[in-house]
Amino acid sequence: MGYSRILAVALAFSGVGMALPSDASAQTKREVREQAEASMVLTGEIDIGTDGRVETFRLDKRGQVDETIVRFVEGAVQTWRFAPVLVDGHAVRARTPVSLRLGAKNRPDGSSLVTLLAANFEQYDETATDSVTRLKMSLPAYPEDVYNAGGRGDVLLLVQVGRDGNVLDVAAEQVNLRVIANEANMRRMRDKLARVSMGAARKWTFKVPSSGDSKDDASWTVRVPVRFSFGNEVERYGRWDAYIPGPRQPAPWRSDKAMSADANADLLPADGVFMADAPRKGPTLLTPLGG
């Protein structure tokens, strides 16, 4: 369709779900607006031909997504090429679910640059025996002071699971906030959301792999996304969600892992448990995301 990997669109971050405390100054607004990013997660289904080319792409809830974004995404996906899916050594047609994350950042002229940031072809399977799955996972309590300040955000946890299914260690890989405050207050919010999430995670229990290449490992690392949002907040499919991205940091027990290898970690859907170091499940994409 001829669409580039970057799409320039008009996007006002003030209208895409970011809270601004009443005591935030005009200077704070300007500074944070320059840092702000927005994301949109879309889902769909892809039919892959025997040569690895995309035969059909079906975007979920297409009518709820702006037509400019639809054309941008469809144009990119149609250029993708996968490694052929093999069954008994023979290439076959295959169908895969896909989750896509688009990102947008403001430009000085008031428009925004939209890019296709990540794609995930995995789904959480509670019945899987070749990966870690959840047994008991109680959600963390919302810190009262963060709630009262209008603090919302997402914590991406890394959890080290032992052979008995109990947690050996836990770390917050990243905390993205959907609220604007001065840097000191945002740092405190990130810290509190991370600490309560890690505290809850230390009590979680998991079912460990009984089959597959990693079943004899001494421990496993899983990623678990945790979302803090208000009870009356309803996410709308196909709409932008603005946030201030927090710094990413590796867990102490896997500090040798390259952060760039986990580029799509924040695309993981909530309520799932995902192996951090296992090979990706699903088809292998060979071409760039943007086409």
**Domains in the chain: ranges and CATH:** 6-120 (no CATH), 133-275 (3.30.2420.10)
Is the pLDDT at 274 greater than 50, yes or no?
yes
Quick: pLDDT tens for 68-126.
999 999 999 999 999 999 999 999 999 999 989 888 876 777 667 888 888 888 777 88
Q: Strand 94-106 relative to strand 37-48: parallel, antiparallel, unpaired?
A: antiparallel
User: Which range, 78-87, 232-241, 280-289, has the best average confidence (pLDDT)?
Assistant: 78-87
Length of the chain equals 291
Instruction: Spell out the SS3 assignment of the chain.
Output: CCCCCEEEEECCHHHCCCECCCCCCHHHHHHHHHHCEEEEEEEEEEEECCCCEEEEEEECCHHHCCHHHHHHHHHHHCCCEECCEEECCEEECEEEEEEEEEEEEECCCCEEEEEEEEEECCCCCCCCCCCCEEEECCCCCCCHHHHHCCCCEEEEEEEEEECCCEEEEEEEEEEEECECCCHHHHHHHHHHHHHHHHHHHCCCEEECCCCCCCCCCCEEEEEEEEEECCCCCCCCCCCCEEEECCCCCCCHHHCCCCHHHHCCHHHCCCCCCEECCCCCCCCCECCCCCC
Distances (CA, A) of 114 to 3, 37, 106, 157, 241: 12, 10, 9, 27, 13
pLDDT of res. 79? 95
Hey, how many other C-beta atoms are within 10 angstroms of the C-beta on 220? 23
pLDDT for the residue numbered 36: 62
10 Å Cβ neighbour count for 109? Answer: 8
Tracing tokens 């799955």 back to the chain, one arrives at 133
Looking at residue 143, its pLDDT comes to 94
Query: What pLDDT band is residue 31 in, cutting at 50, 70 and 90?
Result: low
pLDDT of residue 94: 95
Top pLDDT among 236 and 193 is at 193
Q: What percent of the chain has pLDDT over 90?
A: 47
Integer angstrom CA distances of residue 91 from 84, 88, 95, 97, 232: 6, 9, 13, 19, 48
Q: Would you say the pTM of this structure is higher than 0.85?
A: no
Query: 290 to each of 8, 118, 282, how far by Cα in Å?
Result: 14, 9, 19
Indicate if the pLDDT at residue 53 is higher than 50: yes
Residues pairing with 133 in the sheet: 207
Residue 57: Cβ within 10 Å count: 16
Using one digit for the tens of pLDDT, what is the confidence trace for 153-206?
A: 889 999 999 999 999 999 999 998 887 777 888 899 999 999 999 999 999 999
Q: Give the per-residue pLDDT at 122.
A: 78
Q: What is the pLDDT of residue 167?
A: 98
Neighbouring C-beta atoms of residue 44, cutoff 10 Å: 19
Report the pLDDT value the prediction gives residue 37, as an integer from 0 to 100. Answer: 67
